[in-house]
Amino acid sequence: MISGVRDYVLALACVRHGVPAVQGRGMDQLPAEVTAGFAAALVRSVDGAELERAFRAVTESLIAEIGLADAGLAGRLTRVLRELAGGPPSG
């Protein structure tokens, strides 16, 4: 699930940058400053705490990408997304 969310957020970044978003075809064309932010969303082990950490990281990436497209929507979704990810509802 974490990988799937990361892929969808990267696809949104592709759309924003005008590169192909289907099946990850444009991900390698994204600027390094965009893709660098996704390193924290990589799962390093199947330990529960690690999975939670990676899910919170990918959720923050999703919130950030939504904010770049529609700040109002991001404002409405941030709290619920953070709650779903098990993190603090604001901050």
Rounded distance between C-alpha atoms, residue 29 and residue 71, angstroms = 25
Residue 91 has pLDDT above 60, yes or no: no
| pLDDT at residue 70 greater than cutoff 60 | yes
Whole-model pTM: value is: 0.85
- Mean pLDDT of the residues in the chain: 90
For residue 62, is pLDDT > 80?
yes
pLDDT at 51: 94
pLDDT tens digits for 27-61?
A: 889 999 888 888 889 999 999 999 999 999 999 99
